[in-house]
Amino acid sequence: MNSTESSCDRREAIPRAGSTLAANRPTRVLRIALCCALVLRHPIAPAVIEVGGACNLPDAISAANDDTNVGGCSAGSGADTILLSATVELDTVAVLDEGENGLPTVTSEITIDGGGSSITRDQAGPLFRIVKVDELGDLTLQNVTLSHGSIGSDDPPVNYDGGAVLSRGRLTLADSHITESRTTRLGGAIASFGEAVLENSTVTFNDASDGGGIYNMGLMEITESTLRANHAFGYSGWGGGIFNGEDGDLTISKSTLDSNSANLDYGSGGAIQSSGALVVFNSTISNNFAPYAGAISAVATIANSTFYGNDTIPETAYYSSALKGTFTLYGTILQNYDDFDTHNCQFATIIDLGNNFADDASCGSIPNVDPGLDTTLADNGGPTRTHALLQGSVAIDSGQACPAATDQRGVPRDDGACDSGAFEVGCKAPDGDEVTLEGGWTVVEEKVETCLSITVRDWAVFSPGGHLILRTAGVVALDDDFEVGVDGRLTVENDDGLLGGEVEPPDS
């Protein structure tokens, strides 16, 4: 329970006309109002329950749910926080609630702070999901890893949803991971029918018949997160990474979905299969696979996102398409065509809002050009991996309006000309500090790069062939003692495609 029961919570009985209760009703109403005011002014303080010693995690959840002492765990109070100090290995079923669960059902507001620890099912024990959240439950998983949840069976066929977590209430995943979990039905890692938020988290190596990583049939937001190597194994497996159902409302931002896959028979939506509302922006969809719709099958809006290498199989080449459905696109890069089996938009209807680029001619009015992507999905800064833009890419400074103030990595899109895709080139110099050059000279090529200012004092460039290159997104200042000798050269570079910003050129 999240609050202490009081007369403020009870519905007052309606007194009969002429009774003493009726005569005193104004006084009773005043007393109840004062009671409610006192309760609101003195909210229940949340409890912190530490797992360890005589207090185990199942008992800690029960203590938090019921606000009572359970086992060796102190009573919860209000919105409780459960602290883990070591990995918790579950080897028995705690409760039967839409299948077997290793932990009690969450029925109140609880945060489990793992401190970097894990909650895992003992793989030598029985099969069960890790936890269920009921309609009134509100569970936050913070800095914790859930692994090896497994529910349902193929023989005899027993189907349940949510290999690690089934939520019918509210679920938040913050700085956390769900991995190597499985269900024979929907959502290898998570099946959510309520509200869910994933922040700076990962969902990896999970399996389900549909929705290899996540199944959503509610309101879900995913930001700064990664879904990688999840698999939908059903004969008509839908959504290797995510299956967003018809009542689902899914928004994905600053995230990467890569190497997810749907089954080889009739699977669709290597990264995402959606029949509900879907918005994707500032995100990367890379190297996903399905026989049909290697990347996404949906009706969706996609802005400033990057698609690369999402594949289908040659046997279905005529029907293959990275995108399948209807898509409203702005500032998005599509580089999926491999000259044989996977077109970008072969079976997609595209509403082109501009600043989009595709490497084949299947996307209607979208220009058919090489977008100039670095084909390696890499750590280019920020919480998720991205495909960088190569120098000279047509996507650099292609747009005037940016839907978001930063790119997928958090790099500002503030130079007045937004790059298409999820990656804003910004400043690429290796050193972002101010640089001062004093008392030097060069007879060969020398290059100085910085994101901020360069000041040159008492510097000479001598002949023959001396060359000083100054590259900055900031200001170049040359003092009076600067000298360029006979045949010496000075170059000041401010390539907007590489650095952005403006340079004040030297007077000399």
**pLDDT, average across residues 99-106:** 98
Q: What is the DSSP string of 276-306?
A: SEEEEES-EEES-B-SB-SSEEEEEEEES-E
- Looking at residue 20, its pLDDT comes to 37
Is residue 193 domain-shared with residue 99, that is, in the same domain?
yes
- Looking at residue 467, its pLDDT comes to 87
What is the DSSP pairing of strand 261-262 with strand 231-232?
parallel
Whether 1 shows a pLDDT value over 80: the answer reads no
Is residue 272 domain-shared with residue 397, that is, in the same domain?
yes
Is residue 311 domain-shared with residue 400, that is, in the same domain?
yes
Rounded Cα distance between 398 and 377, Å, is 22
Is residue 364 domain-shared with residue 455, that is, in the same domain?
no
Is residue 418 domain-shared with residue 441, that is, in the same domain?
no
Structural Rg of the chain based on CA atoms: 29
Per the model's pLDDT, the better-predicted residue between 11 and 54 turns out to be 54
> pLDDT digits over 235-293, tens only?
889 999 999 999 999 999 999 999 999 998 889 999 999 999 999 999 999 999 998 89
Of the candidates 378, 401, 424, which is a domain's last residue? 424
Whole-number mean pLDDT of the chain? 86
Q: Is residue 237 part of a domain?
A: no
Whether 80 shows a pLDDT value over 70: the answer reads yes
Q: Is residue 503 part of a domain?
A: no
Rounded Cα distance between 356 and 423, Å, is 14
SS (H, E, C) 455-505: EEECCEECCCCCEEEEEECCCEEECCCCEECCCCEEEEECCCCCCCCCCCC
- Looking at residue 426, its pLDDT comes to 74
Rounded Cα distance between 473 and 503, Å, is 6
- Would you tell me how many other CB atoms lie within 10 Å of the CB of residue 462? 15
Whether 113 shows a pLDDT value over 60: the answer reads yes
Is residue 81 domain-shared with residue 190, that is, in the same domain?
yes
Is residue 28 domain-shared with residue 133, that is, in the same domain?
no
Of the candidates 391, 424, 457, which is a domain's last residue? 424
What is each CA distance from 59 to 67, 73, 76, 130, 449, in whole angstroms?
A: 11, 6, 11, 14, 59
Q: Is residue 483 part of a domain?
A: yes
- Looking at residue 421, its pLDDT comes to 97
Q: Is residue 286 part of a domain?
A: yes
- Looking at residue 402, its pLDDT comes to 81
**pLDDT bucket at 318, cuts 50 / 70 / 90:** low
Rounded Cα distance between 274 and 250, Å, is 9
Whether 164 shows a pLDDT value over 90: the answer reads yes
- Looking at residue 30, its pLDDT comes to 42
Is residue 59 domain-shared with residue 128, that is, in the same domain?
yes
Query: Starting from the edge strand earliest in sequence, which strands make up the sheet with 460-461, in order?
Result: 441-442, 460-461, 483-484
**pLDDT, average across residues 428-452:** 74
What is each CA distance from 364 to 50, 294, 420, in whole angstroms?
A: 59, 19, 18
> pLDDT digits over 321-332, tens only?
899 999 999 999
- Looking at residue 125, its pLDDT comes to 94
Q: Could you tell me if 144 and 51 are in contact, meaning their C-beta atoms sit under 8 angstroms apart?
A: no
**pLDDT bucket at 485, cuts 50 / 70 / 90:** confident
Q: Is residue 249 part of a domain?
A: no
Per the model's pLDDT, the better-predicted residue between 105 and 485 turns out to be 105
> pLDDT digits over 170-199, tens only?
999 999 999 999 999 999 999 999 999 999
Whether 361 shows a pLDDT value over 50: the answer reads yes
Whether 160 shows a pLDDT value over 70: the answer reads yes
Structural domain boundaries enclosing 312: 257-424
User: Would you call the peptide bond into 156 cis, given omega within 30 degrees of 0 as the criterion?
Assistant: yes
Poorest-confidence range of 22-26, 433-437, 446-450? 22-26
**pLDDT bucket at 234, cuts 50 / 70 / 90:** very high
Per the model's pLDDT, the better-predicted residue between 456 and 3 turns out to be 456
Whether 312 shows a pLDDT value over 80: the answer reads yes
Whether 150 shows a pLDDT value over 70: the answer reads yes
> pLDDT digits over 34-62, tens only?
444 444 444 567 899 999 999 999 999 99
Whether 8 shows a pLDDT value over 90: the answer reads no
**pLDDT, average across residues 330-352:** 88
The percentage of the chain sitting over the pLDDT mark of 90, rounded to a whole number, equals 63
Whether 137 shows a pLDDT value over 60: the answer reads yes
- Looking at residue 500, its pLDDT comes to 36
SS (H, E, C) 161-229: CCCCEEECCEEEEECCEEECCEECCECCCEEECCEEEEECCEEECCEECECCCEEECCEEEEECCEEEC
**pLDDT bucket at 427, cuts 50 / 70 / 90:** low
Of the candidates 208, 242, 267, which is a domain's last residue? 208
- Looking at residue 154, its pLDDT comes to 81
**pLDDT bucket at 474, cuts 50 / 70 / 90:** low
**pLDDT, average across residues 113-127:** 97
The percentage of the chain sitting over the pLDDT mark of 70, rounded to a whole number, equals 84
Is residue 100 domain-shared with residue 141, that is, in the same domain?
yes
Whether 117 shows a pLDDT value over 90: the answer reads yes
In 3D space, the residue among 76, 6, 75 whose CA is nearest the CA of residue 36 turns out to be: 6
Is residue 420 domain-shared with residue 441, that is, in the same domain?
no
Distance separating the N- and C-terminal Cα atoms of the chain: 76
- Looking at residue 12, its pLDDT comes to 33
Q: Is residue 247 part of a domain?
A: no
Query: Is 439 buried (19+), middle (13-18) or exposed (0-12) by CB count in 10 A?
Result: exposed
Per the model's pLDDT, the better-predicted residue between 506 and 14 turns out to be 506
Is residue 199 domain-shared with residue 298, that is, in the same domain?
no
- Looking at residue 508, its pLDDT comes to 37
Q: Is residue 144 part of a domain?
A: yes
> Number of folded domains in the chain?
4
Is residue 343 domain-shared with residue 480, that is, in the same domain?
no
Per the model's pLDDT, the better-predicted residue between 303 and 461 turns out to be 303
Q: Is residue 402 part of a domain?
A: yes
